[in-house]
C-alpha cells in the first residue's frame, strides 16, 4: 500500500560517487546544462490516499539527490564561517552592548556558543552518517514527525529568504557612508545581481566566493583585534589610557538580569549560519573526511574570533554611547561598535575600511541566504512539503527553480527607497527572529531520537564514522538551554528593557510583542495545518529509518577514492607519494575475509574500519621504520595515537609553562628583583605607566645602590639584567664589547628606522665600518664644518627674534625651531644640502618630511613600533603604518640617487686628480675613505650609516640642546655665568675660542647627565661570561639605562638629580670615571657622531645664551615626560619666556 521498493540496495552507498556535470561546448550545450538532470533509481511511491504522507518516499528522494558534489573541506569551513560572521556580529552587537553592557554581551556569546557547540557536534554526527539533501529539515521528517519536518523546513527557508533582502538593504545603506546622494536602488541591483550570478554558476563557484569573502573577514577581524589592543594600551588620540575604564563606568552589567536576557537572541542571530555545514554535506565530495574537520575547526575559530573581538569592543566603546541605539537595525552600519571603536584611532581611513568589510560581510551573508533557502526549498519539494517544481535540479547539479525563487524574493530589497521601509522590514525580520532557536533545538532533538533508534536497531556507537564529543547529554543540555532562551525572549517581548521605545501605549506594547515572537505562531501554524491535513504521527523508534541514505565506508571503495584524489594532485605531491610505493594503498585494496557466516553489513563495516586503521599504521611503520619494527604493531593503535597527541600537546604547552615559571626559576637568584610584576608582561607595563621613562629604573637603583645588576622581567616574562655599577658598565662596554650584540627585539625596533649599519654590526664587520668612517667623523674633520654651524646659529637666533616680535608676552616655544635648524645643519654637513628642500623626482615628500614621519611618529605609531618586535603590526592599514612605509620608501629613493651622484663625482675627481673640487660634506668624505679600502662600502651600508649619523647628530643635538636651555632657564645663576664667559670671547666666534670656554663644557655635560637623551642601550650576550662576579649565560639581555648610572647617588652624591655644572670643576671619585657618563656610550661601541653632536650643540648654545635671556613660564611645575619614547622628550612643548640681551 505504501509503495514499492525498487533496487534499494543499488542506491549509492558511499560518498565517493560525485555528480559529474557534462562537458559542454558552445552556446547550445551551455543551454543544455539547464535541463533537468537524469532521474536516479530510488523509491517510487504507488497509489495512496490523497491525504497520505509517504515517509519512505521522502527519505529515499532526499538520500538520492542530483545535487553536484563539488565542495571541498576548505569550502565547508568557510561556508560556515562566512554565513555566520555578518551584520549580527558587526552591527547588531552594538544594540546588545547598549542594552546589556559589555559583561552581559560577552557572557551571552559564551552561553549561546556552548549550546551551539553541542548542536554542531550533534549535527556533525548526523550529517556524516546521512549526507542527504535538506539535512536537518529532512532529519526532523525522518526522526521526529513529518509535520514537524514540514514546519522546520519552511521555518528555515523563510528565515533565509527574508535575510536576503535585509542584507542587500544593509549593503545599500552602508554605501551611504561614502556617498548618500546616490540612489540606493542602484546598489540594490548591483548586489542582487552579484549574489544571483554567484549562485547560478554552481555550488563550486559559491564555495570559492565564500572562501574569498571569509578570508577577507578573518583578516579584518584579526586586524581589528590587533588594532584594538594598540588603541586600548595607547589610548585615544588625546593620549588617555583606556584599559578597563568602561567596565567601571558606565559599568560591566546594564539593566540587570533583564538586560542580559535581552542580548541572548542577538547572540544567537550572530551564530546563525554555522548550521549551513549540514546543508552543504549533500554537495560535498567527501563528507566523511571534510565534515568532521569542518565541524571541529569552524566552531572554535568562530568562538575565539567572537569572544576576543567583543571583549575588545566592550573595552573600547562605552555601553551608554548614543550611537549604539541604532544597533538593533542591522541595516545601520553607523551603529556598528567596531566602527565606533576604530574611530578612536583618530584616523579618517580606518572607519571607511571597516565599513567596506561590513559591506563584504553583507554580500557574503546574502550569498549564504540564497544557498540556504534554495537547498532547503529543493529538499522540501523532494519530501512533498513544497511544490514539485522547486525540486528541479539541472544537469549542472543546481536547484535552479529554488535559486530563481529565492532571487525573486530578493527583489523586496527595492523597497529600500520606500518611505516606510523600516516598518516593512521589521515585520519581515520578525518572521525569522526566533527561527534559529527552533532550528537548533530541532537538531538536538533529532540527534537524541536518532541515537535511541540506532541502539534500538542493535547498532553500536563504534560503527558511526563520526561521534559527537558531547553525546546525548550535550544535546539535552543544548535543547533545554534553547527552551529557556526562548522563554526569556517571550518575557522580554512582553516587558521590554527600554519602555520609552514603546511610544504608542498599549498598542505599541502589543506591536513590539508580536514583532519579537511572530516566528512562534508561524511555526505552530505550519505544523498544525500539515498535521491536520496529513494526519501524521510522531515517528516511533521501531519505525525510524536508519539505513536509507546512510553511507557505508568500505576499504576497497576508500582505496578507489584515494586513487581518484591522486589524479587531482599537483606533480610535486604525486612524486613525493607515488601510488606504487604506498604500502597503505596495497593494504586498502587487499580483501578482508570473514569466516563467520551471516555477517551483517554493519558488522562488515566495523571490521573494515578496524583493519583500515591497523593497516594504515602498519604501512607507516613498514615504509618509514623498516620491517624490524613490525612487532611494535602488536601494541594498540589507540595507544600510539594517544602518545602522538600527548607529544604534540607537550610541544605546545612547555613554552607557555616556561614563560609562566620564569619569575620562579631565575638563573640570577643572587641578584635583586623588584616586586610588582604582572603575569606574562613582567614589569613592562609598570615601566610604561611610570611618570617618565626613567622613573621606575631610578626607584630600583636607589633601592639597591650596591648591586652590580638588577634583574627585571620584560614582555613574556623575559629576564633582563640592568647594569647598576661602573664596574659592570666597563666590562660590558670595554672588556667584553665584542661578545655582545644588539638583541632581536631592539634590532626590529630601531633597525626598521635606521637600518643595520654600524649600530647592529658585530666583530670584524663592525671594526671595518668604524675604520672607514673614523676619519670623516673625527674631531679635526668636524671642525672644518664650524662656519656652517655658525651660519645656522645666526639663523636660529633670527627666527627666535622674529617669534619674539610676534609674541606680545615674550613666550616662545623654541623646541620646534631648534629641531628644524639642527636638521638643516646635519643635512648640509652630511649630505651637502638642506633636508627640507631635498626630495626625489618620484615623490613629493621632502627628506625632512620623511625623516619626521619615521622618527617623530604620533602616539599610535610609537605604540605600534614598540609592540612590533614582539607582535608584527606593521601590516595593519592604519595611517601611522601607511605614512611610515611611504616615508621610508621615499627616503631610500632619495638616498640611493644622492649616493650614486656622489660616487660618480668621487670617481671623476680621482680620474682627473681634482680632489680639491669635491664637495666638503661628510658623505663625500666617507665615499672617498671607502674607495681606499679593498672592501668598499655598499650602497645599503652607506644609507644605513648616513641615517644613523643623522639620528645621532640631529636627535641627540636637538634633544640635548632643549634640555640644556631648560636647565639654564631654571638656573639663572649658571645662565649668567655662562653668558659672561661667552662675552669674554668678543664679537667674533671661532672654533679655537669655543674650546677655551670650560664652563660651557661643564654646562653641556651636566645637562646631558641629568637629562640624558639616550634612554636605553640594550645588549645580548653572545657567549657565557662572568661580569662583576655575576655569571651571564649566552642569550641574556643586558641593558644599560644611562639614567641609572648618571643619576646614581652612590656615584654623583646625594644631589645627583640636581643640575649643578660646578660639580665638574672639582670632579673626583667614581664620578671621574669615563663610564659614569653613558649618553654617547663608551669603548669600541661609542657613538661615532659624538664629535659632530657636541660641536654643533656648543655653537648653537653659545649663540642662544649670548643673545637671549631665558626663564621657564611655569617654573614651579615639573615637566611631564613622554613615555614610551625613543629619546627623552616632554609630553608638550616647553614654553620659554625670553628677551634679547642688551
Do the Cβ atoms of 82 and 210 come closer than 8 Å? yes
Strand-pair category, 1017-1021 with 740-741: antiparallel
Q: What is the pLDDT of residues 952-979, one digit of tens each?
A: 778 888 999 999 999 999 999 999 999 9
Is 1087 marked within a binding site? yes
pLDDT of residue 129: 82
Kindly report which listed range (115-124, 133-142, 472-481, 525-534) carries the lowest average pLDDT score: 133-142
Cell numbers 511555526 label which residue? 523
Residue 682's SS3 state is: strand
What DSSP string describes 331-385?
T-GGG-HHHHHHHTT--SHHHHHHHHHHHHHHHHHHHHHHHHHHHHHHHHHHTTS
Chain CA centroid to CA 1126, Å: 25
Write down how long the chain is: 1142
- The number of helix segments (H) and strand segments (E) in the chain equals 48, 10
Tally of CA atoms within 13 A in the half-sphere of 206 that contains its CB: 33
Nearest to 1070 by CA among 696, 672, 724: 724
Angle between helices 972-983 and 957-970 (to 10 degrees): 110
pLDDT tens per residue, range 372-425: 888 888 888 887 888 888 888 887 778 888 888 988 888 888 877 776 666 766
How many angstroms separate the CA atoms of 155 and 153, rounded? 5
Q: Does domain 26-54+72-416+457-543 have CATH number 3.30.390?
A: no
Backbone angles phi, psi at 784, to 5 degrees: -70, -20
Q: How confident is the model at residue 2 (pLDDT cuts 50, 70, 90)?
A: very low
pLDDT band at 665 (very low <50, low <70, confident <90, very high): low
CATH of domain 696-832+919-1140: 1.10.630.10
Is 1123's pLDDT higher than 50? Answer: yes
CA nearest 230: which of 245, 241, 218?
241
Over residues 725-752, mean pLDDT? 86
Q: Which pLDDT score is estimated for 586?
A: 38
Of 371, 310, 379, the residue nearest 341 (C-alpha): 310
Strand partners, 839: 846
Q: Strands 1136-1140 and 1108-1112: what pairing? A: antiparallel
Contact 898, 890 (CB under 8 A): no
Distance from C-alpha of 4 to C-alpha of 523, rounded to nearest angstrom: 33
pLDDT recorded at residue 1108: 95
Please say whether the dihedral angle defined by the alpha carbons of residues 207, 213, 215 and 218, taken in this order, is positive or negative.
Answer: negative
- The residue among 1055, 1056, 1054 whose CA lies nearest residue 1045 is 1056
pLDDT score of 619: 41
- The residue ranges of every structural domain in the chain are 26-54+72-416+457-543, 555-634, 696-832+919-1140, 839-918
- Per cent of the chain over pLDDT 70 is 76
* 327-336, 731-740, 1131-1140: segment of lowest average pLDDT: 327-336
Contacts of 770 (CB under 8 A, 6+ apart): 758, 1084, 1088
pLDDT digits (tens, 9 = 90+) for 50-95: 555 665 666 566 656 666 666 776 777 777 666 567 667 777 788 8
Which segment of 619-633, 935-949, 999-1013, 1051-1065 scores lowest on mean pLDDT? 619-633
Question: What is the pLDDT averaged over residues 178-191?
Answer: 78
Q: Tabulate helix, strand, coil % of the chain (nearest 5).
A: 65, 5, 30
Percent of the chain with pLDDT over 90: 17
| Separation of alpha carbons 426 and 424, rounded Å | 6
Higher pLDDT, 942 or 1114: 942
Let me know if the fold of 26-54+72-416+457-543 is the same as that of 696-832+919-1140.
Answer: no
The model's pLDDT over 585-639, given as tens digits with 9 standing for 90+, comes to 333 333 333 333 333 433 433 333 443 344 444 444 434 344 434 344 444 444 5
What is the distance between the alpha carbons of residues 938 and 965, in angstroms, rounded to a whole number?
Answer: 40
CA distance 1079 to 1094: 12
The single-letter DSSP state of residue 539 is P
Mean pLDDT of 679-700: 88
Burial (0-12, 13-18, 19+ Cβ within 10 Å), 179: exposed
- How distant is the alpha carbon of residue 633 from its chain centre? 44
559 by DSSP, 3-state: which?
helix
| Cα gap 259→248, rounded to integer Å | 17
Task: Tell me how far apart the alpha carbons of residues 489 and 506 are, in angstroms, rounded to a whole number.
Answer: 19
What local confidence, expressed as pLDDT, does residue 1118 receive?
81
- Rounded-to-integer distance, Cα 1090 and Cα 517, Å: 77
Task: Decide if 620 contacts 644 (C-beta within 8 A).
Answer: no
Q: What is the largest CA-CA distance in the chain?
A: 125
pLDDT score at 584 = 36
Instruction: Say yes or no to pLDDT of 908 above 80.
Output: yes
User: E strands along 703-828, which residues?
Assistant: 709-713, 719-723, 740-741, 811-812
- Please list, in sequence order, all residues whose beta carbon lies within 8 angstroms of the beta carbon of residue 180, skipping any fewer than 6 positions away: none
Q: Helix/strand/coil (H, E, C) string of 271-288?
A: HCCCCHHHHHHHHECCHH
pLDDT of amino acid 467? 84
Give the position of cell 546543508: 279
Beta bridge partners of 1039: 722, 1018
Cα–Cα distance for residue pair 750/895, rounded to 1 Å: 19
pLDDT value of position 128: 82
Between 8 and 1081, residue with greater pLDDT: 1081
Amino acid at each position: 500500500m505504501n509503495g514499492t521498493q525498487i533496487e534499494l540496495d543499488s542506491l549509492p552507498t558511499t560518498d565517493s560517487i560525485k555528480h559529474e556535470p557534462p562537458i559542454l561546448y558552445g552556446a547550445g550545450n551551455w543551454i543544455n546544462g539547464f535541463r533537468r538532470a537524469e532521474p536516479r533509481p530510488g523509491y517510487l511511491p504507488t497509489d495512496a490516499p490523497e491525504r497520505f504522507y509517504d515517509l519512505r518516499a521522502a527519505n529515499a528522494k532526499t538520500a538520492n539527490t542530483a545535487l553536484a558534489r563539488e565542495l571541498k573541506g576548505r569550502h565547508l569551513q568557510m561556508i560556515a564561517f562566512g554565513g555566520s560572521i555578518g551584520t549580527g556580529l558587526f552591527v547588531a552587537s552594538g544594540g546588545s552592548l547598549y542594552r546589556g553592557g559589555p559583561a552581559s554581551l560577552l557572557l551571552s556569546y559564551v552561553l549561546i556558543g556552548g549550546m551551539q557547540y553541542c548542536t554542531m557536534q550533534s549535527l556533525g554526527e548526523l550529517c556524516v552518517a546521512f549526507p542527504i539533501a535538506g539535512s536537518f529539515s529532512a532529519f526532523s521528517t525522518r526522526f521526529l514527525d513529518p509535520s514537524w519536518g514540514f514546519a522546520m523546513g519552511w521555518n528555515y527557508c523563510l528565515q533565509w529568504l527574508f535575510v536576503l533582502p535585509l542584507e542587500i538593504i544593509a549593503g545599500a545603506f552602508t554605501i551611504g557612508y561614502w556617498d548618500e546622494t546616490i540612489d540606493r536602488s542602484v546598489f540594490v541591483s548591483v548586489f542582487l545581481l552579484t549574489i544571483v550570478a554567484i549562485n547560478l554558476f554552481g555550488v563550486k563557484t559559491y564555495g570559492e566566493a565564500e572562501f574569498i569573502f571569509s578570508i577577507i573577514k578573518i583578516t579584518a577581524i584579526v586586524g581589528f583585534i590587533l588594532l584594538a589592543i594598540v588603541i586600548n594600551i595607547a589610548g585615544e588620540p588625546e593620549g588617555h589610557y583606556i584599559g578597563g575604564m568602561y567596565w567601571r563606568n558606565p559599568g560591566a552589567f546594564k539593566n540587570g538580569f533583564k538586560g542580559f536576557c535581552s542580548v541572548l537572541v542577538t547572540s544567537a542571530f550572530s551564530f546563525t549560519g554555522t548550521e549551513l555545514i549540514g546543508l552543504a554535506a549533500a554537495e560535498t565530495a567527501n563528507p566523511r573526511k571534510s565534515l568532521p574537520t569542518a565541524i571541529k575547526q569552524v566552531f572554535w575559530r568562530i568562538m575565539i574570533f567572537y569572544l576576543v573581538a567583543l571583549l575588545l569592543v566592550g573595552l573600547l566603546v562605552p555601553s551608554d554611547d548614543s550611537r549604539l541605539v541604532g544597533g538593533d537595525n542591522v541595516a545601520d552600519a553607523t551603529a556598528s561598535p567596531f566602527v565606533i571603536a576604530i574611530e578612536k584611532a583618530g584616523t579618517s581611513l580606518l572607519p571607511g575600511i571597516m565599513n567596506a568589510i561590513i559591506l563584504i560581510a553583507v554580500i557574503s551573508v546574502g550569498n549564504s541566504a540564497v544557498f540556504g533557502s534554495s537547498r532547503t526549498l529543493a529538499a522540501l519539494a523532494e519530501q512533498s512539503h513544497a511544490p514539485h517544481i522547486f525540486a528541479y535540479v539541472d544537469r549542472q547539479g543546481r536547484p535552479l527553480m529554488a535559486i530563481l525563487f529565492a532571487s525573486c524574493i530578493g527583489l523586496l530589497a527595492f523597497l529600500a527607497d520606500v518611505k516606510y521601509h523600516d516598518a516593512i522590514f521589521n515585520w519581515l525580520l520578525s518572521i525569522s527572529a526566533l527561527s534559529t532557536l527552533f532550528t537548533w533545538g530541532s537538531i538536538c532533538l533529532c540527534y537524541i531520537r536518532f541515537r535511541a533508534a540506532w541502539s534500538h536497531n542493535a547498532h553500536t556507537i563504534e560503527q558511526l564514522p563520526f561521534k559527537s564529543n558531547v553525546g546525548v547529554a550535550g544535546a539535552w543540555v543544548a535543547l533545554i538551554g534553547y527552551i529557556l532562551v526562548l522563554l526569556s525572549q517571550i518575557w522580554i517581548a512582553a516587558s521590554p528593557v527600554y519602555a520609552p521605545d514603546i511610544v504608542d501605549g498599549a498598542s505599541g506594547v502589543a506591536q513590539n510583542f508580536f514583532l519579537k515572537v511572530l516566528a512562534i505562531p508561524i511555526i505552530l501554524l505550519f505544523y498544525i495545518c500539515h498535521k491536520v491535513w496529513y494526519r501524521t504521527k510522531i515517528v516511533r523508534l521501531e519505525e525510524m529509518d536508519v539505513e536509507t541514505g546512510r553511507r557505508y565506508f568500505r576499504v576497497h571503495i576508500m582505496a578507489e577514492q584515494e586513487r581518484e584524489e591522486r589524479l587531482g594532485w599537483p606533480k610535486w605531491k604525486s612524486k613525493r607519494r607515488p601510488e606504487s610505493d604506498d604500502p597503505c594503498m596495497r593494504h586498502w585494496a587487499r580483501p578482508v575475509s570473514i569466516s563467520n557466516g551471516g555477517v551483517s553489513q554493519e558488522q562488515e563495516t566495523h571490521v573494515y574500519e578496524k583493519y583500515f586503521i591497523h593497516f594504515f599504521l602498519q604501512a607507516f611503520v613498514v615504509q618509514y621504520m623498516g620491517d624490524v619494527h613490525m612487532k611494535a604493531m602488536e601494541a594498540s593503535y589507540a595507544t600510539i595515537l594517544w602518545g602522538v597527541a600527548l607529544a604534540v600537546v607537550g610541544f605546545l604547552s612547555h613554552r607557555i609553562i616556561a614563560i609562566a615559571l620564569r619569575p620562579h626559576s631565575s638563573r640570577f637568584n643572587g641578584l635583586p628583583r623588584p616586586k610588582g610584576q604582572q603575569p606574562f608582561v613582567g614589569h613592562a607595563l609598570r615601566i610604561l605607566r611610570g611618570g617618565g621613562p626613567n622613573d621606575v629604573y631610578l626607584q630600583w637603583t636607589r633601592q639597591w645602590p650596591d648591586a652590580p645588576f638588577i634583574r627585571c622581567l620584560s614582555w613574556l616574562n623575559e629576564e633582563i639584567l640592568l647594569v647598576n655599577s661602573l664596574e659592570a658598565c666597563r666590562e660590558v662596554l670595554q672588556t667584553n664589547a665584542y661578545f655582545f650584540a644588539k638583541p632581536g627585539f631592539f634590532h626590529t625596533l630601531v633597525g626598521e628606522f635606521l637600518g643595520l649599519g654600524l649600530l647592529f654590526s658585530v666583530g670584524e664587520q663592525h671594526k671595518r665600518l668604524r675604520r672607514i668612517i673614523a676619519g670623516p667623523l673625527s674631531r679635526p674633520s668636524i671642525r672644518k664644518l664650524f662656519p656652517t654651524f655658525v651660519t645656522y646659529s645666526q639663523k636660529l637666533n633670527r627666527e627666535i627674534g622674529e617669534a619674539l616680535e610676534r609674541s606680545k608676552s615674550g613666550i616662545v616655544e623654541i623646541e620646534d625651531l631648534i629641531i628644524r635648524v639642527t636638521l638643516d645643519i646635519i643635512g648640509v654637513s652630511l649630505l651637502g644640502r638642506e633636508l627640507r628642500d631635498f626630495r626625489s623626482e618620484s615623490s613629493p615628500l621632502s627628506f625632512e618630511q620623511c625623516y619626521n614621519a619615521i622618527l617623530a611618529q604620533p602616539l599610535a605609531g610609537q605604540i605600534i613600533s614598540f609592540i612590533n618586535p614582539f607582535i608584527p603590526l606593521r601590516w595593519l592599514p592604519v595611517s601611522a603604518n601607511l605614512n611610515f612605509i611611504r616615508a621610508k620608501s621615499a627616503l631610500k629613493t632619495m638616498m640611493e640617487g644622492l649616493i650614486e651622484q656622489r660616487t660618480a663625482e668621487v670617481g671623476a675627481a680621482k680620474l682627473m686628480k681634482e680632489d680639491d673640487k669635491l664637495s666638503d660634506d661628510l658623505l663625500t668624505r666617507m665615499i672617498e675613505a671607502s674607495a681606499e679600502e679593498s672592501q668598499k662600502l655598499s650602497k645599503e651600508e652607506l644609507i644605513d650609516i648616513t641615517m644613523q649619523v643623522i639620528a645621532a647628530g640631529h636627535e641627540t643635538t636637538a634633544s640635548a640642546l632643549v634640555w640644556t636651555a631648560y636647565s639654564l632657564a631654571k638656573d639663572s645663576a649658571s645662565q649668567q655665568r655662562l653668558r659672561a664667559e661667552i662675552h669674554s670671547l668678543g664679537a667674533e666666534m671661532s672654533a679655537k675660542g669655543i674650546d677655551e670656554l670650560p664652563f660651557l663644557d661643564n654646562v653641556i655635560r651636566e645637562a646631558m647627565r641629568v637629562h640624558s637623551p639616550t634612554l636605553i642601550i640594550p645588549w645580548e650576550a653572545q657567549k657565557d661570561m662572568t661580569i662583576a662576579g655575576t655569571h651571564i649565560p649566552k642569550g641574556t639581555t643586558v641593558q644599560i639605562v644611562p639614567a641609572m648610572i648618571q643619576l646614581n647617588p652612590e656615584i654623583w652624591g646625594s644631589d645627583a638629580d640636581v643640575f649643578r655644572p660646578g660639580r665638574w670643576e672639582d670632579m673626583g671619585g667614581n664620578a671621574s670615571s669615563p663610564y659614569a657618563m653613558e649618553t654617547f656610550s663608551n669603548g669600541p661601541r661609542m657613538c661615532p657622531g659624538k664629535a659632530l653632536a657636541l660641536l654643533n650643540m656648543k655653537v648653537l648654545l653659545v649663540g642662544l645664551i649670548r643673545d637671549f635671556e631665558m626663564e621657564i613660564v611655569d617654573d614651579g611645575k615639573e615637566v611631564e615626560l613622554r613615555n614610551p619614547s625613543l629619546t627623552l622628550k616632554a609630553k608638550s612643548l616647553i614654553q620659554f619666556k625670553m628677551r634679547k640681551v642688551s
